[in-house]
A and B are shown apart, each in its own frame.
Chain A
């Protein structure tokens, strides 16, 4: 029945409506612009500016063939800039450009509605890069704007305040439904199908190679790498070595991880005091799982690489939580195979002659077989000589980079020290390797989580000593002990570029920052990281026994139904309240009817009162007041609840004898 007139012609969009849609479109598109290729961002800004100009000056819209040509040209430009039209980044670029072009083709309200749908997709696109609470707040404000634009599209000429208020009210009413669906909607572990190759662009983290400068770059980022909740007390800062990729192969410039499938069980026996904790790992598009030296268990589905590094089955692309146990004092690898030790002594022939010479001298001076003496000698060297720990080391030459660093520049970051140290050890015939990972972390007193940032990325060394196995040696600690004891902020010289929030700051600012980061962590744990396991955990905590997707779906249906009923009751509620006046008036008419003065159907309140006054002068004054109140409530410009109360009271007190 409804579809008979459902095809009413779509109305033309007024300038006012177009400006609302422009505001909503701009608010949805602008935060995405920095993520585009500069040329495409410039194109999008130009197109948006043109549409804003056209609409503000109320100029005629360009002809369709011009818009079509612009669509074709923009598509070509995007294809050229991204070398593809498929994938996440070109997809977002296309959305933004089409949005801008649709504004130039905004003729009917149906076009306006298309723009609104495009805005929703852009909002989702914004979440690819960031999902923090600030983004949520921005999206909420943007949704109010989009909804208000939609309301304006439905009825032109409404006051700005009233449409914003209505949009906010509707979204507020939708929020309980959103919460129910969010908590109870059966969660599926994605992805549903193959994702475009660039789906995970923008994730940062340690790689499986190290060359001068690679970790320094990472240390400029304040992004969280992972968060740790210790079951007991947090170990001291200097003991927090989070093991990542172990690099054995050296080609004269770059260190690489040894290939190897790894095993499902630990290659060593665990003993001694253990530390229990839970890690919440940020996605970094690599399979590394970080654990304190040395990991004491292998998480479900994970493996242990030859260098005792934990690897997940697939690259970590969603936030992941795992329970972990570590044995800090453990020595491992006492009976390491000869092939492994041989690989850990290999250095490219010929390069860095001065370093080799230095190492050979130390070896000769040490007692035979006392490899630890050589290690001590090397650390002593770093401590004594004028080495500087800095975030801005000078560039090193292609060949003989270690010679250049050890004898000329002497300014370096952890990868310089770790790399040079391992080179010296190998030159002295001692098996050694580079271990990368994170060092330290910042305990948050608000929620008790230890936050490890990308800026805590670190590289250190391990040497193999007969009958003791692999020993951790951190040459950076020799140069800059405060880096290991207090963190990077205390270690680098003033003036070195440090990421915001990582530098040492004032007390109140620090307290504020802890609060903000605790909020961020709770947000990550419960909003962004809310997955199948979290859902099960929460439902169990809420008293649901053995929850699965069926019980969650049933609970969701029931709660959604209840909420809709509440809203429906609200839809009917106000009528009854206002209807008290009508009910009082009906009661008054009934009372009068008993006295033989029934109201005629067409009779207005004031006429009725006049007739009553003529027929029954005794009732004249009271019925005149009642009729006046009712007329005022019904038709008056300023009815107020006080009048309604008075009316109800007066009708109730009125006694009419038959």
Chain B
């Protein structure tokens, strides 16, 4: 039984627990009041009871205003508490470890920046903020780690972000919690929270031949991107050096920031947010590049000194 109510294993999860148990205390009190009054009245005023009913309560609006007002105040307080914590769930602290997650029927694929890849498993260091950039290859999934009190839908065609900071080492469940088809219940895995030295050992043992950015560089060649976008190209295409994070003026007059979302969409559907001053010659890559490869391509575009393959 005690394992059932173990405290959360993440920094924000502990706060979620506080709110949860506060709600539990309030609910229990209200429930005791409602059941208590109901039990009291049905016994006291049962038909067989000779008790004097006296005059019926007058001026019912005083009661009405009292319990309406009390409910409102209580609810507003609960709203603020839950909202404050929720807003912070959306604000990752700086310096977090950034990982990529791709959901597909019916597995989780995880990419580490140094190039380690894993399926249905997530190895992370303890006491370190971890930020996940997530997308789906097909239907909507949901990345949920109950021990961390965190979950978020993973949508096709969109990047969604969550973050958490594990506070205990150990193995914790990873579930898909958005129904995604036949083997939904098999889309599960483990989060392995390790000490810093153990984590370093794991990274070294799993070290791949190339980093994610290097894998992206190879894809940049393979898909023919370099034919137009490389510095020596004769075709007029937007230069990509130092692009990540910079403002991009669009043909339609808007300016967007070249973040992950923009780079992803610019590859998949280049005509939608076309860079000002460039002709619409780039073909769409929709359905041609897997999401995990898109993550690699973007990692390459983000790398400060793009390694020329």
Bind each other: no
A residues with a Cβ closer than 8 A to B are none
